[in-house]
Structure 1
Amino acid sequence: MRNSFLRSFVAIMLILVGAALVLSNIGIIDFNMNNAWIYIYPVLFIIFGLKWMLDKIRYQGGSWIFGSFFFIFGSLLLFDRFELIEFTFNDVYKLWPLLIVYIGFSFIGNSQKRSKWNIKWDKKWSKRNKVKGNYDSSFFSIGEHEFNQPNWKVEPMNLKSMAGDFYLDFSKAFIPEKEIPITINSLAGDVHILIPENIEFRVDASVKAGEIDIAGRKAEGINRHLMHETVDYETAIKKLDILLDLKAGSIRVVTV
């Protein structure tokens, strides 16, 4: 994978340098090998930003937050080089509002009205959330949460994050024969969960702005909410009880 990315990166750089030299020769831009670096490093930011975002889409690591920041930063620098706007490296501080964009989503709209069945579930969730999980995180944290090591043991979780992504692969996990509560709460990020077909589970998922996909059932937009319960959940001994609450982002639960 790294070798493939390196080859693609070198190829893109050669194409861009060659194109810039052609544009310079016909008088569209002022470009020579002496000032090439001022064009190259913005392109580097854009490429690495795109790679992080594509890796996130493919669930191969990556990060929406850092990927989008470097993509935007590099693009603005490149626009400056072509004299479309004025933006230098020292103007990076002007991008600070990006840090609060996701938080702003938390103020969008009011919660959807729920059915009586949902209210019954809410009472259960409120009681359950008072129980501290074996895996806990601070709500003020930013970053990735990954549970995908071979034979990792599933315990009650209470994961919180201001901004970050969550990846839980239960197909690689050791799941005890009991009902295991799992809570994920974040202002902004993506949640991707893989669950084996032989494991019963129940999911209550909400996003203020974003999309939800649970075993093929989808909802997207503002104030979205989906609940899903497998057929034999109530009678199963081994099962996962999952609560997901995002202000902005996407939720995807897939059976494998």
Structure 2
Amino acid sequence: MQTRYRWNRLFAALLVIGAGILFLLDNFHVINISLGEMIADFWPLILVYFGLICLVQSLRGVLDGRGIHFGELLFGLLLLFLGANFLAMNLEYPHISWLDIWKFWPLFLIYLGIQLLLSPRTKKRDSSHSGRRKAGQWYRHEQGDGYEYNLFGEINVGKVPFSLENKHYWVGFGSIELNLTQAIIPDGETVLQASGIFGSINVYLPSQLPTRVNALCQLGSIEILGVEDGGIVKHTSFQTPDFEEADQRLVLDLSMVCGELRVVRV
């Protein structure tokens, strides 16, 4: 999370510095710029920015041993392509027409087929996983920390009592709901990661569970235990006073490209 936050600050800082230099040169009549024309021509850089953020996040998995996060990788490449193509169109450089782009829609089917081939068959699961997989949801459990994802739809955890363990949840377009009020909390530190592209993440905590939360939303809103924030590239960290000394601790690492993040106590 901290690596991603540093990248966000770097891109934002470069954007602000570049804008300041341009306006300074305009004030001294070195160049002549129009704010309206700049926004009209260069707005696709926003897509390029979010595409780079998705690429950095997807490649983080190589460093922590989870492998490349293909969902965010492909989404990042798509944003980069669209942003670059829109920018070339606005600046009257060679670009690809929308009619030609539409011819590539079968690549989505190829991607889905590859995902089905690479995902191992779901084995019979114990009762702690009952009721958590819906029709159309793909599930993969790796050695060590678990990984559960759904490209389109919902991930719901906590309808029945279950043993809490380190896990990463990911949704492409949809929602993640983690109800930990019935969870059996192990001793030590448990890390839950939840991330997505478009949608919402809702976490319901037991009233006395020591918790540390890192939350990042590129575009949308964040609510952590009653404290709300929203807008573009919002990052929030929170830690309960008794976290460091507690025998049972929970770490939440939450991120969403566009949508809503909520952590509440029940």
After TM superposition, the score normalised by the length of structure 1 is: 0.49
Max radius of gyration: which structure? 1
